[in-house]
């Protein structure tokens, strides 16, 4: 018993720090990330090429989409915020101008800005830039539109979208 105690004590004397476990990321994950970066860069480059060919000036939002006001109220007014309900008309086209959904099919729409279903990320953020009666052309890279899945109807996966939006009404949340 004493021998066992002595051997345990002597064996525990030389503590060696262990090396941290190095976790490797999946090559599939790395490949997917790189592929998405390349796809996003290609979409943005194509949108910028379209904008360059257009004589009007577009702005790039911090959210990644591009926009240009066709009609803009010169008097500062209310803009929709998170929680507000908005009514708007819009259409969806490919970047080459082919109609995906016409304004007649989609409009008018009344949605809450916090409602995830029915308003994709780029459109939700784009509406926040507008005042009532403003009309804007948007170019949405796929990652700000329907992304990887599309809408499972007419919008395919990784499809950038061009949309013309007119804000008709803002119902402020209380």
Q: pLDDT confidence of 129, banded at 50, 70, 90?
A: very high
Q: In which region does residue 118 sit, left (phi positive, over 0), alpha (psi from -120 to 50) or beta (all else)?
A: left
Residue 26 is assigned to a structural domain of this protein: no
What would the pLDDT profile of 81-109 be if each residue is shown by its tens digit? 988 999 999 999 999 999 999 999 999 99
Residue 16 zone, left/alpha/beta (φ > 0; ψ -120 to 50; rest) = beta
Q: Could you give the CA distance from residue 69 to residue 67 in angstroms, rounded to a whole number?
A: 7
Question: Which domain, by its residues, includes 103?
Answer: 37-171
Encoded tokens for 28 = 């599939």
Question: Per-residue confidence at 8, pLDDT binned at 50, 70, 90?
Answer: low
Of the candidates 121, 158, 164, the one whose C-alpha atom is nearest the C-alpha of residue 42 is 158
11 falls within a domain: no
User: What is the value of pTM for the model shown?
Assistant: 0.80
- 161 forms beta bridges with 140
Q: C-alpha angle 75/79/84, rounded to 5°? A: 150
CATH, residue 61: 3.10.50.40
Q: What is the mean pLDDT of residues 27-38?
A: 88
Q: Quote the CA–CA distance of 118 and 56 in Å, as a whole number.
A: 30
* Residue 27 included in any domain: no
Answer yes or no: is 103 within a domain. yes
Assess if residue 132 is contained within a domain: yes
Total domains in the chain come to 1
More confident residue, 83 or 167: 167
How far apart, in whole angstroms, are the C-alpha atoms of residue 19 and residue 92?
A: 55
Q: Within a domain: residue 5?
A: no
Choice among 3-17, 22-36, 115-129 with the minimum mean pLDDT: 3-17
Is residue 18 in some structural domain?
Answer: no
Stated length of the chain = 174
Contact 116, 100 (CB under 8 A): no
For residue 19, being part of any structural domain is answered with: no
């Amino acid at each position: 018993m004493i021998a066992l105690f002595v051997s345990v004590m002597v064996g525990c004397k030389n503590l060696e720090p262990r090396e941290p476990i190095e976790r490797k990321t999946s090559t599939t994950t790395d490949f997917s990330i790189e592929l998405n970066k390349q796809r996003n860069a290609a979409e943005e480059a194509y949108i910028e090429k379209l904008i360059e060919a257009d004589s009007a000036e577009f702005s790039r939002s911090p959210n990644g989409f591009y926009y240009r006001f066709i009609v803009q109220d010169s008097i500062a007014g209310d803009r929709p915020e998170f929680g507000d309900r908005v009514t708007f008309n819009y259409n969806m086209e490919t970047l080459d101008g082919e109609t995906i959904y016409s304004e007649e099919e989609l409009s008018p729409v009344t949605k809450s800005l916090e409602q995830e279903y029915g308003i994709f990320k780029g459109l939700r953020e784009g509406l926040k830039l507008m005042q009532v009666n403003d009309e804007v052309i948007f170019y949405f890279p796929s990652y700000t539109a329907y992304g990887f899945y599309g809408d499972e109807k007419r919008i395919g996966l990784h499809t950038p979208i061009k949309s013309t939006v007119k804000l008709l009404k803002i119902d402020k949340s209380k």
